[in-house]
Amino acid sequence: MATIDDVAKAAGVSASTVSYVLSGKRPISPRTRERVERTIRDLGYRPHAGARALASSRSNVIALMVPFRPGINVQIIMQFVAGVVSAARAHDHDVLLLTQDDSSGVDRVASSSMADAIIVMDIEAEDERLPALRSLKQPSVLIGVPSDPSGLSCVDLDFTAAGRLAVRTLTDAGHRRLALIGASQERFDRRANYAVRMRAGATEEAELRGADCAVLPCEPNFAGGTAALERVLDEMPGVTGLVVHNELALPGVMSALERRGVRVPEDISVVAIGAADTGTALARELTGIDVPGEDIGRVAVEMVMAQLDGEALSSTRLVSPDVTPRGSVAAPAV
Partner DNA sequence: ATGAAAGCGCTAACAA
Partner DNA sequence: TTGTTAGCGCTTTCAT
- Position among 16, 23, 54, 91 found at the interface with a second copy (CB under 8 A): 54
> Whole-number minimum distance, CB 92 to DNA, in Å?
12
> Whole-number minimum distance, CB 239 to a second copy, in Å?
23
Q: Which amino acid is residue 17, in one-letter code?
A: T
- Position among 283, 315, 331, 333 found at the interface with a second copy (CB under 8 A): 283
Nearer to DNA, 11 or 270 (CB): 11
d(CA 89, CA 17): 25
Residue 261 found at the interface with a second copy (CB under 8 A): no
**Residue 159 binding partner per list DNA, a second copy, none, with a CB distance cut-off of 5 to 8 Å that depends on partner kind:** none
> Whole-number minimum distance, CB 97 to DNA, in Å?
23
Residue 50 found at the interface with a second copy (CB under 8 A): yes
d(CA 297, CA 96): 15
Residue 90 found at the interface with a second copy (CB under 8 A): no
Nearer to DNA, 234 or 309 (CB): 309
- Position among 152, 248, 264, 272 found at the interface with a second copy (CB under 8 A): 248
> Whole-number minimum distance, CB 1 to DNA, in Å?
6
| Per-residue x/- track, 104-133, a second copy (CB under 8 A) | ---xxx-xxxx-------------------
Nearer to a second copy, 47 or 201 (CB): 47
d(CA 329, CA 175): 10
Residue 230 class from Cβ within 10 Å (0-12 exposed, 13-18 middle, 19+ buried)?
middle
Residue 102 found at the interface with a second copy (CB under 8 A): yes
Nearer to DNA, 17 or 171 (CB): 17
- Given the rule CB under 7 A, which residues bind DNA? 1, 3-5, 12-20, 22-23, 25-29, 31-33, 45-48, 51-52, 54-57
- Position among 34, 49, 172, 333 found at the interface with a second copy (CB under 8 A): 49
Residue 134 found at the interface with a second copy (CB under 8 A): no
